Amino acid sequence: MRVAFLGLGIMGHAMATNLVKAGHEVAIWNRTPKEVEGARAAASPAEAAQGAEVVWLCVSDTAAVESVLFGSDGVEQSLTEGMVISDSSTISPTATLKFAERVRRKGVEYVDSPMTGSKAGAESGTLLFIVGGDEQAVEKLKPLYAAMGKKIFRMGETGKGQSAKLVMNLQIALIYEGFAEALTLAAKLGVDAENLVHLINASMVKSGVVEYKAPFVLRRDFSPNFPLRLMRKDIRLALEAAKEARVKLPGLETVEEVYDVAIEEGHADLDYAATLLLLEKWAGVEVKGEAA
Ligand code: NA7
């Protein structure tokens, strides 16, 4: 298929690479010029989108999606009837509905396709896509999902993918924070972190989040797989959606405060696992495993 891929950050670069590998004809654009082997680099979102069957976005936040779609030299200038826009950025469900309404006036379908699987999943083409949109449009995107991921979950019409993604990240943030608090208290009480991880993994406390994050934490590798600033964005999006829906989320509100301080302390571009650094500082300990 002819695909315009816009946004080549940690996730987007790997995803566009997998589209090229699967044999799709890919035009790319990134705000800061970047290359993807085998893809044609365009000078603007409008230029990349010209003649594309599908425009795929993967940029940081709601404002970025709005400017790539509707800003000067935005995708809107190149929209043609029958095109499908697929957005893998995690953004506001309410804004998603507004963007979809605007492009539908030109006969263009809009599917929200946020994903989960982190950098490793993007690189290995094993992402899970959490999809909202018209069934036929989703059907059309299937070869592209298959090139970048291992499964799609259609959660309903446009916007439902973003809503489901937010509640997924709400859980990741809370589960990781539980793990980080456990490690911190364990360190203070003299329990070895690696030993504790073995115990967790053998018990009902085990989780995919701990399984994925523990090796990084034990190596004290806080380089970004999913940057802390982006997890805070998602926490804020979830709290915003909760406010609109008149739902109270006290756990997530508290975790947001931890993220705010972590960002003040300069950890924005580290992985979100680096909230541990703050807990360690407050407790006056450093988490250590036998391997560390
Ligand atoms: P990164 O690695 O922080 O990449 C963000 C991308 O978004 C990167 O290509 C940025 O371009 C681009 N960006 C940011 N702001 C803008 C604006 N205003 N206009 C155009 N492009 C912009 O994030 P990830 O790849 O980890 O994640 C991407 C999304 O998936 C995000 O929503 C996550 O929550 C899930 P740059 O290279 O900085 O010029």
> Which positions ≥6 away from 266 have C-beta within 8 Å?
none
Q: Which residue has the higher pLDDT, 114 or 291?
A: 114
Tens of pLDDT along 69-124?
Answer: 999 999 999 999 999 999 999 999 999 999 999 999 999 999 999 999 989 999 99
164 Cα to the center of ligand 1, angstroms: 20
Q: Which of 34, 140, 151, 165 is catalytic?
A: 165
- Kindly state if the Cβ of 67 falls inside 6 Å of ligand 1: yes
Q: Answer yes or no: are the C-beta atoms of 15 and 117 closer than 8 Å.
A: no
Q: Which atom of ligand 1 is nearest to the CA of 89?
A: 32
285 Cα to the center of ligand 1, angstroms: 34
pLDDT at 292: 45
Residue 211 has pLDDT above 90, yes or no: yes
Residue 55 has pLDDT above 50, yes or no: yes
Q: Quick one: tokens of 24?
A: 């799709």
180 Cα to the center of ligand 1, angstroms: 27
Q: Which atom of ligand 1 is nearest to the CA of 63?
A: 18
Between CA 121 and CA 148 the distance in angstroms is: 9
Between CA 229 and CA 248 the distance in angstroms is: 23
The residues facing 87 across adjacent strands are: 57, 112
Between CA 23 and CA 222 the distance in angstroms is: 34
Provide, for the chain, the percentages of residues in helix, strand and coil under a 3-state DSSP scheme, each rounded to the nearest 5. Answer: 55, 15, 30
Q: What angle do CA 230, 127, 193 make, to 5 degrees?
A: 65
Q: Which long-range contacts (CB under 8 A, 24 or more apart) does 196-201 make?
A: 197/289
pLDDT at 115: 97
- Cα four-point dihedral sign 127, 130, 132, 136: positive
- Kindly state if the Cβ of 273 falls inside 6 Å of ligand 1: no
Q: Which of 196, 190, 183 is nearest to 275 (CA)?
A: 183
Q: Which of 59, 68, 92, 128 to mutate to test the pocket of ligand 1 (most atoms within 8 A of CB)?
A: 59
- Cα-to-chain-centroid distance, residue 37: 23
Q: Which of 152, 141, 82, 144 is nearest to 116 (CA)?
A: 152
Catalytic annotation on 248? no
Question: Residue 176: helix, strand or coil by DSSP?
Answer: helix
- Kindly state if the Cβ of 128 falls inside 6 Å of ligand 1: no
243 Cα to the center of ligand 1, angstroms: 26
Residue 248 has pLDDT above 90, yes or no: yes
Q: Which atom of ligand 1 is nearest to the CA of 90?
A: 32
Residue 51 has pLDDT above 50, yes or no: yes
Residue 291 has pLDDT above 70, yes or no: no
Q: What percent of the chain has pLDDT over 70?
A: 99
Residue 60 has pLDDT above 90, yes or no: yes
pLDDT at 289: 75
Q: Which of 60, 230, 259 to mutate to test the pocket of ligand 1 (most atoms within 8 A of CB)?
A: 60
pLDDT at 288: 84
Amino acid at 222: F
**In the predicted model, what is the mean pLDDT of the chain?**
97
Residue 290 has pLDDT above 70, yes or no: no
Average pLDDT estimate for 126-145: 98
